[in-house]
Amino acid sequence: MKTRFARRIGTLRPSTIREILKVTEQADIISFAGGLPAPELFPVAEILAATERVLGEGGAGALQYGPSEGFQPLRECFAEESRQRGIACVADDILIMTGSQQPLDLAGKIFLDAGDCVLTENPTYMAAIQAFQSYEVRFAAAPTDEDGLIPEALPELIEREQPKFLYTIPNFQNPTGVTLTAERRCRLYEIAARYGLMVVEDDPYGALRYAGKYIPPIKSLDTEGIVIYHSTVSKTIAPGLRIGWVVASEEIRRKLTIAKQAADLHSSSLDQRIVHRYLTEFDSQGHIEQIRRAYGERFAIMDAALRETMPEGYTWTHPEGGMFLWVTCPEGTDTNVLMRQALERKVLFVPGQDFFPDASGRRFMRLNFSNASPEKIRDGVGRLAEVCLAASAASAVIAS
Ligand SMILES: Cc1ncc(COP(=O)(O)O)c(C=O)c1O
């Protein structure tokens, strides 16, 4: 019997990262592939204590169904956090989400019909491509440079492709690590407002700045109610909690709430209360400082190791925060091939291709610097450089 799947699932590209992550379980592999935080920095003791308090003091509420909009005291925490980031809002403007991934799916659900266009950065977050792809859409991709998306490219793309929304990751972007400058945020917002284009602003990494100056989100400029801002505790507390939040206008929140009800009724009551306790009763800011310091150090170690060992012709970004840097290899390199060679040397990265909506971009690789220890970073970059050196030598032979 032939299984009759929906058309949309046939168009979904499998994620290389998920495939890669299956082999990272092997102990001797050094992985720069996943987007994983440093596990040794998870606040395990604090989360244990917060959980005990939640369950010990009126635990039934934590085990009961709850409102789709979220646990009110946690909405207040995230409203305060969003205000500190520069966004004017109150608790009722917040919806609690199951991570930062859910708002991507729900934005797709409420805005996208089959054949619609989504405008993204080129390259962009692979799982956002997947989330939107399941609504059978087309993509238009805006060019980026070391200051993020280039706003001047937007009007022509908007007029030609008529996108339903622009999806952007302004801080320490996944995969490139670059940050959209303050000036470009203003220009991007002006253009979006002029065309009445919705903006989905994804900010999982903004709190992880280890260098440079803070830049307020695009949402802080939003006088028209066209920006849907979302963030998460995945990178600042732990991704296993699956808690994030959205700030959006009332009209959009109402639709998102209905879409969320259909998706999962509400995010975990227990996890929401644990996060609330953790944020209000423990030193969450001190913990973020610790993460920032560690990731800043790890970036510096990776950058220095790349400088010392990589062959001529390889360049990479210098992020001021977040968890990733982006390597540009010499013209003609195919990082899908390079990855298989790297795997033989027991080091992993993600080839660039999956981050491009049109699957171009084969000369790039994404390296994660948050997950491996400093020693493993040095060792892994050394192995990667050997693979790149061998590839450069081979292409020199072919060229001659
Ligand atoms: C840009 C971006 N958006 C969303 C997510 C999903 O985050 P969460 O774990 O909060 O669902 C990630 C995770 O890596 C990400 O990099």
User: Each residue of 144-154: pLDDT tens digit?
Assistant: 999 999 999 99
Looking at the CA of residue 102, tell me the nearest atom of ligand 1: 11
Q: How confident is the prediction for the chain on average, in pLDDT?
A: 95
Confidence of residue 382 (pLDDT cuts 50, 70, 90): very high
Cα of 96 vs centre of ligand 1, distance in Å, is: 15
Of 82, 105, 107, give the one whose Cα is nearest residue 206. Answer: 82
Q: What is the 3-state secondary structure (H, E, C) of 286-345?
A: HHHHHHHHHHHHHHHHHHHHHHHHCCCCCEECCCCECCEEEEECCCCCCHHHHHHHHHHC
Cα of 308 vs centre of ligand 1, distance in Å, is: 31
The 10 Å Cβ neighbour count of residue 26 is: 10
The encoded tokens of residue 39 equal: 């596990």
Confidence of residue 399 (pLDDT cuts 50, 70, 90): low
Q: Is the beta carbon of 234 within 6 A of some atom in ligand 1?
A: yes
pTM of the predicted model, to two decimals?
0.96
Q: Which residue has the higher pLDDT, 350 or 10?
A: 350
The sheet that has 364-368: what strands, in order across it?
A: 315-316, 324-328, 364-368, 350-351
pLDDT of residue 24: 63
- Give the position of tokens 């992985």: 31
Q: Cα separation of 243 and 77, whole Å? A: 13
Cα of 99 vs centre of ligand 1, distance in Å, is: 7
Confidence of residue 109 (pLDDT cuts 50, 70, 90): very high
Of 284, 272, 322, 248, give the one whose Cα is nearest residue 98. Answer: 272
pLDDT tops 90 at residue 388: yes
The encoded tokens of residue 122 equal: 């080129």
Q: Is the beta carbon of 267 within 6 A of some atom in ligand 1?
A: no
What average pLDDT does range 254-269 have in this prediction? 98
The encoded tokens of residue 187 equal: 């220009």
**In degrees rounded to 5, what are phi and psi of residue 327?**
-100, 130
What average pLDDT does range 86-104 have in this prediction? 98
Cα of 298 vs centre of ligand 1, distance in Å, is: 20
Cα of 231 vs centre of ligand 1, distance in Å, is: 8
Q: Cα separation of 244 and 254, whole Å? A: 17
Confidence of residue 358 (pLDDT cuts 50, 70, 90): confident
CA dihedral 27, 32, 38, 40 (to 10 degrees): 20
% pLDDT > 70, the chain: 95
What average pLDDT does range 93-114 have in this prediction? 98
pLDDT tops 60 at residue 277: yes
Query: What is the widest separation between alpha-carbon atoms in the chain?
Result: 75
Q: Cβ-count burial of 276 within 10 angstroms (0-12 exposed, 13-18 middle, 19+ buried)?
A: buried
The 10 Å Cβ neighbour count of residue 145 is: 10
User: Each residue of 293-315: pLDDT tens digit?
Assistant: 999 999 999 999 999 999 999 99
pLDDT of residue 19: 66
Confidence of residue 391 (pLDDT cuts 50, 70, 90): confident
User: 89-116 b/e with 16+ CB inside 10 Å = b?
Assistant: bebebbbbbbbbbbbbbbbbbbbbeeeb
User: Cβ distance 189 to 181 under 8 Å?
Assistant: no
The answer to which of 5-9, 62-66, 107-111, 191-195 has the lowest mean pLDDT is 5-9
User: Each residue of 154-166: pLDDT tens digit?
Assistant: 999 999 999 999 9
Q: Is the beta carbon of 100 within 6 A of some atom in ligand 1?
A: yes
The encoded tokens of residue 155 equal: 């009007």
Looking at the CA of residue 98, tell me the nearest atom of ligand 1: 11
Give, for ligand 1, the residue of 174, 245, 368 to mutate: max count of ligand atoms closer than 8 Å to Cβ. Answer: 174
Give, for ligand 1, the residue of 234, 243, 245 to mutate: max count of ligand atoms closer than 8 Å to Cβ. Answer: 234
pLDDT of residue 63: 97
The encoded tokens of residue 391 equal: 């590839």
Q: Is the beta carbon of 125 within 6 A of some atom in ligand 1?
A: yes
* Residue 172 vs residues 17, 204, 211, 296: alpha-carbon distances, Å: 19, 9, 11, 12
Give, for ligand 1, the residue of 21, 78, 100 to mutate: max count of ligand atoms closer than 8 Å to Cβ. Answer: 100
User: Each residue of 39-94: pLDDT tens digit?
Assistant: 999 999 999 999 999 999 989 999 999 999 999 999 999 999 999 999 999 999 99
Q: Cα separation of 309 and 315, whole Å? A: 12
Looking at the CA of residue 101, tell me the nearest atom of ligand 1: 11
User: Each residue of 205-230: pLDDT tens digit?
Assistant: 999 999 999 999 999 999 999 999 99
pLDDT of residue 25: 65
What average pLDDT does range 381-388 have in this prediction? 97
Cα of 115 vs centre of ligand 1, distance in Å, is: 25
Cα of 390 vs centre of ligand 1, distance in Å, is: 34
pLDDT of residue 400: 57
Which residue minimizes the CA distance to atom 13 of ligand 1?
35
Cα of 164 vs centre of ligand 1, distance in Å, is: 21
